[in-house]
């Protein structure tokens, strides 16, 4: 029934596009309606996909939502790295502006729709055993990747005592700032905290 | 039907005890089952109180849960202050041990059942407009009180540039540590981060 061109498979392309639409709709639903309001049917309808097609791609609700959070987390990491690596006028490698830009970018990972969606998933997982396992593993993976990225972007040397824990605390602070932004727009306060802690981090990394 | 002794009113005592049982049951339910699973009926049953009596004390579900989180937050603040003020062998006022004890105590505010319950309420409020107003006001009040307490316990001088933002960032970090503890026991890592950040804070406050 299908014709297979030499270089592309339109059916596979369509399947990939459907999967992508479902993942995007899942994140939007989770951030807006929470776990309780995010069923496969709701997501499928939002994505303009039949429920059957949705279940073909993701057999369970847990599969759909953990895949969605995971993919967006990966996209964000890649975008962050590209942003800082490819700036046409990059701040001086070891200067305070560079440290500020990195801290600011790391914090921004926790204040957008991805964090809102992930937070809904974490909190739901704390009450729903069937979500617990996959979400705990996903959270650990995102945590490790964020740490690795922070160390690399800050050019930090983890063999120096205290550096590892300083950077971990910075990521905990970023997560806390994300939570503070959940109900109200916390941007002006956040900016002041980021400026001050970027200075402190810069000093601790031995560049002050 | 009731007899009123000169000094006490048993009916009022019973009413106060019922209210207290409801508030405690509400926190336990929220931390265990999340907002979706915490109805007034579930809480009343857990407290051993009739649904009618529960509604007499708290006309709406929102009233019950915001009152519960608010009361426990106040109790925790009082306990924390008493703990640090009344230690029989208090760490030297400006020494690094004192700073560590204060940072550790502040962080502990975010890792127990109160934070788990509050987190459920914050996240639910982000999706449910009828919860939004009261929870946003409550969160702001708890945030201000935590900040005031942190400044006082650390003996920090907010007129020094950067001190206010340093302490705010510390509380954001504590909140992030609480979130990291939601799905797994994060105590060993948390202890190392607290030790390092207590050192940083101690230095920034000009005592290093």
pLDDT at B91: 59
Asked whether this complex has an ipTM greater than 0.85, the answer is yes
Contact of B174 with B105, CB cutoff 8 Å: no
pLDDT, mean over chain B: 87
For B203, counting Cβ atoms within 10 Å of its Cβ (0-12 exposed, 13-18 middle, 19+ buried), the class is middle
pLDDT at B6: 61
**Selection from A66-75, B86-95, B99-108 with the highest mean pLDDT:** B99-108
CA–CA dist A163, A196 (Å, integer):
18
Confidence grade of residue B166 (pLDDT, cut at 50, 70, 90): very high
pLDDT at B2: 54
Nearest residue on chain B to A32, alpha-carbon basis: B127
pLDDT at B3: 56
- Which chain B residues have a beta carbon less than 8 Å from that of A183? 122, 125-126, 132, 135-136, 139
pLDDT at A208 exceeding the cut of 70: no
B171 Cβ under 8 Å from any chain A Cβ? yes
* Binary contact (B197, A123; C-beta < 8 A): no
As a whole number of Å, the end-to-end CA separation of chain B is 67
Nearest beta carbon to residue A196 from set B122, B162, B180: B162
Contact of B198 with B104, CB cutoff 8 Å: yes
Determine the average pLDDT of the residues in A16-34.
91
pLDDT at B128: 82
Scan residues 16-55 of B and list those with Cβ closer than 8 Å to A.
Answer: 32-34, 36-37
**Selection from B89-93, B94-98, B196-200 with the highest mean pLDDT:** B196-200
pLDDT at A8: 72
Determine the average pLDDT of the residues in A98-118.
89
pLDDT at A180 exceeding the cut of 70: yes
Confidence grade of residue B202 (pLDDT, cut at 50, 70, 90): very high
User: Which of A111-125, B13-27, B154-168 is the least confident region?
Assistant: A111-125
- Which chain A residues have a beta carbon less than 8 Å from that of B122? 179, 182-183
Determine the average pLDDT of the residues in B189-201.
97
Contact of B183 with A141, CB cutoff 8 Å: no
Which among B129, B112, B45, B96 is positioned nearest to B201, based on CA atoms? B96
pLDDT at A88 exceeding the cut of 50: no
pLDDT at B4: 56
pLDDT, mean over chain A: 87
User: Which of A41-45, A75-79, A156-160, A174-178 is the least confident region?
Assistant: A75-79
User: Which of A8-12, B55-59, B60-64 is the least confident region?
Assistant: A8-12
- A76-83: long-range contacts (C-beta < 8 A, 24 or more apart)? A76/A109, A76/A112, A76/A114, A77/A145, A77/A146, A77/A149, A80/A105, A80/A106, A80/A109, A80/A149, A80/A153, A81/A149, A81/A153
pLDDT at B88: 47
* Binary contact (A36, B33; C-beta < 8 A): no
Determine the average pLDDT of the residues in B129-141.
85
Q: What share of chain B is helix, strand, coil (3-state, %, to 5)?
A: 75, 0, 25
Percentage, residues of chain A above pLDDT 70:
91
B167 membership: H or E segment, kind and range: helix B163-180
A135 Cβ under 8 Å from any chain B Cβ? yes
Q: How many CB pairs under 8 A join A and B?
A: 124
| Exposure string for B115-130, b = 16+ CB within 10 A, e = fewer | bbbbbbbbbbbbbbee
pLDDT at B170: 97
Handedness of CA B141, B143, B146, B150 (dihedral sign): negative
A125 Cβ under 8 Å from any chain B Cβ? yes
């Amino acid at each position: 029934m299908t014709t297979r061109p030499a270089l592309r498979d339109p059916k596979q392309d369509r399947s990939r596009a459907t999967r992508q639409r479902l993942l995007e709709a899942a994140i939007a639903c989770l951030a807006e309606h929470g776990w309780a309001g995010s069923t496969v049917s709701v997501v499928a309808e939002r994505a303009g996909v039949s429920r059957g097609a949705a279940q073909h791609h993701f057999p369970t609700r847990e599969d759909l939502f953990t895949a969605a959070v995971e993919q967006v987390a990966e996209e964000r990491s890649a975008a962050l790295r590209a942003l800082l690596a490819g700036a046409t006028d990059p701040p001086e490698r070891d200067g305070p502006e560079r440290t500020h830009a990195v801290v600011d970018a790391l914090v921004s990972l926790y204040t957008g729709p991805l964090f809102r969606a992930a937070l809904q998933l974490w909190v739901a997982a704390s009450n729903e055993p069937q979500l617990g396992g996959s979400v705990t593993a996903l959270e650990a993976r995102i945590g490790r990747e964020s740490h690795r990225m922070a160390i690399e972007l800050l050019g930090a040397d983890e063999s120096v005592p205290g550096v590892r824990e300083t950077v971990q605390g910075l990521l905990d602070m970023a997560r806390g700032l994300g939570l503070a932004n959940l109900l109200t727009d916390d941007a002006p306060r956040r900016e002041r905290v980021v400026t001050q802690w970027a200075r402190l981090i810069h000093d601790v990394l031995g560049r002050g």
